[in-house]
Structure 1
Amino acid sequence: MATLEIRNLRRIFGPTRAVDDVSLSVDHGELLCLLGPSGSGKSTVLRMLGGFERPDAGSILIDGENVTNLAPERRPTGMVFQSHALWSHMDVFSNVAFGLKLRRLPRAEIRTRAEAALDMVGLAGYGARRPTQLSGGQQQRVALARSLVLEPKILLLDEPFASLDQHLRERLREEVREIQHRAGITMVFVTHGQDEALALADRIAIMRDGRLEQVDRPEIVYRQPSTEFVAGFIGQMNMVDGEVHGGRLHAAELSLPVSLAEGPATLALRPEDIGLHRASGEAGARVMRVTDFGTHLSVELHTGDRVRLRATAEPGAEWAAGMHAELRPRKFAVYREGKLCALPLAPGSGELPASIQSLVADQTRHAAGT
């Protein structure tokens, strides 16, 4: 196992700061996911970690050793690419053993380690096959085995499942997590898929325009997003412009208590945090569409001022287009100038993390002008 430390990393392409002063630490055996939209800089960070891109500033340390200027083959890292990058003229065993042969290890050791790596990824007995005889998922496992066989301290994965169908992605990400636990290896995983990040990661680092927006455990990132961008990027979220007046936030026909100075603010509501209750007559929001997903109903609503909201309801609930609903938020967050400034807790949800408490307190003081 190994630790990774990134200090003030920067990469500039012409007028674009692809990576702008990024600092991160990854613990022994941790799986950190770099998540963000296209162009956010996550893959550039990963390529700099692997030595395939040279940073313009900053440093990269593995187990305290500065590897910033080392070539890829001299770093204790392994890289798994989206494209598999397998040699079609070699069989599976030769693909996996290639790096060991370059190290001029004894033939018996090469065979033992290559077969063990194939067994670890569930491909024991596939060594004689050609990559073209394998499915996409099997090819990605070969690419994973080829990196693991070199026993890297840090394994880097650059959207390795992007070309696979959803069912296969879900299966492989669980297998990668099991392999990571068995091998006890430190991993940095790049993806733009939120489901992958939430399912795989010990922590998620969300990037935007080359900078870090939030780094935290998946449940914190989902339930307590620290910026408006993260709130809108992770999962489904209703974002509604409103106004604070008289100690209450007024938005989309809702009036919610907040401890904020008067002025504009943005209300954030998860669909699952909106309680729906039948309204009398035509009061409340109008149901426009109901979609049954089996595990829940997705209910699309329009308020009287034409704000579109999405809520969820229990399967079998009797909601249909044309009905009217009273909205009762169970939990919500409030953002001002893109930053979290109020985050009421749902009953029984416990204390906020100290970092979030501090952030909310700072934003509240700033909003109050104190």
Structure 2
Amino acid sequence: MAQLTLKNLGKSFDGTDVIADLSLDVADGELVCLLGPSGSGKSTVLRMVGGFETPERGAILIDGEDVTEVPPEKRPTGMVFQSHALWSHMTVADNVAFGLKLRRLPKAEIRRKVTEALDLVGLGDFGNRRVWQLSGGQQQRVAIARALVLEPKILLLDEPFASLDQHLRERLREELRDIQRRLGITTLFVTHGQDEALALADRIVVLRGGEIEQAASPDRMYRAPETRFVAGFIGSMNFLACDMRGGRADHPLFPVAAVVPDGPVELAIRPEALTVSPGRSAGMSARVHRKTDYGTHLLLDIVLEDGARVKAMCPPSGAFEAGQEVRLTASQVALFRDEVKLAEVRTEAREVAHV
């Protein structure tokens, strides 16, 4: 379909930089999720691509053509908003047809395109209904159909499922992913939900303070975060402070070896990388504070002797109770200093990956 290129974008509001100097390439047919905390600039980036905000610096190119100064209605983009932005006094079909009527297409072609778009989102029999007669999920499908009926080169979605309940969100994002793959349309998707980004994206771009913290595939983003911020923002992560001395961490429970300079570090360990067994660790006592049974697994909240807390994921058959003393081992540990990853230690394979 199309390639999107953002070159050194900059945008400020009231003298404060919201986007500092952002560059990003989105490949033909790729679905990229912009992920970050509130105020990170992800929606501002999306609105600049759609033409609803104008960058003060930089350029936006679609298939090599500079569209930075092109108004929204003339850009080859389709935007889906969180609020749906549908007209309640119109029928579903009229909502979807609105942009086509502005283009003054023949009525027969408009009917055909509207029918195809509604079929695509599973609302083929809903064309004559009013928007207020639809559920929230159906309204969002109409908004997606209205964007797709214009056959945009780039599909833009600004947290489109944020107002829906969890089960409906999961179902709609699966449907959206199927539609996106079927059409092969280049897509930029803004979300604050980590699970949504991990489930949808070909690539995740984590924003922080208007800058790209890391851009990577979902599996790499989760398993190999490059900064301490990404490690703590994507999924659940345990952080334990200690010092490196002579190539070994001085933490009593996790004295991992790594070829890094002496000094303070943070050990980062995913809950699923911890193995819990009954008994006492040699270096420091650890006790179960709380057990939560999720059906597929147990999540243990464990208090260490020095007061630190860690979370560990265990099989649902694990026989652990609050107050029980346990022994901890870690299969994978990352070491961070000053926000930067220094090394990654896989204790089972006895190997250290330097960064």
So what's the TM-score if we normalise by structure 1?
0.93
2:306 alignment counterpart: 305
1:92 alignment counterpart: 92
CA distance in 2, matches of 1:97, 1:348: 59
User: Which runs of structure 2 are paired with 1:233-312 in the superposition (5 Å)?
Assistant: 233-251=233-251, 253-280=253-280, 284-312=285-313
2:61 alignment counterpart: 61
| 1:94-142 superposed Cα distances (whole Å, 9 cap, x missing partner) | 0000000000000000000000000000000100000000000000000
Runs of at least 5 residues in structure 2 that lack an aligned partner in the other structure:
none
1:32 aligns with 2:32: yes
Amino acid paired to 1:317: G
| 1:305-360 superposed Cα distances (whole Å, 9 cap, x missing partner) | 110111011111111111111111000111111011101247589x99xxxx7xx4
| 1:38-95 superposed Cα distances (whole Å, 9 cap, x missing partner) | 0000000000000000001011100000101100011100000000000011000000
1:3 is displaced (CA, Å) by: 0.4
Verify the 8 A CA contact 2:253 2:281 in the aligned structure 1.
no
Q: SS of 2:12's equivalent?
A: strand
Q: SS of 1:125's equivalent?
A: coil
Q: SS of 1:254's equivalent?
A: coil
2:191 alignment counterpart: 191
Q: SS of 2:173's equivalent?
A: helix
1:365 alignment counterpart: none
CA distance in 2, matches of 1:251, 1:205: 33
CA distance in 1, matches of 2:252, 2:347: 20
Query: Structure 1 stretch 340-349 or stretch 261-270: which is displaced more?
Result: 340-349
1:223 alignment counterpart: 223
So what's the TM-score if we normalise by structure 2?
0.97
CA distance in 2, matches of 1:346, 1:2: 44
CA distance in 2, matches of 1:75, 1:222: 34
Runs of at least 5 residues in structure 1 that lack an aligned partner in the other structure:
362-370
1:15 is displaced (CA, Å) by: 3.5
1:16 is displaced (CA, Å) by: 1.9
Verify the 8 A CA contact 1:242 1:252 in the aligned structure 2.
no
- State the number of aligned residues: 354
1:184 is displaced (CA, Å) by: 1.1
CA distance in 2, matches of 1:315, 1:197: 27
Verify the 8 A CA contact 1:121 1:145 in the aligned structure 2.
yes
Verify the 8 A CA contact 1:91 1:130 in the aligned structure 2.
yes
Identity %: 57
The two structures, once aligned, show a CA RMSD in angstroms of: 1.7
Amino acid paired to 1:303: L
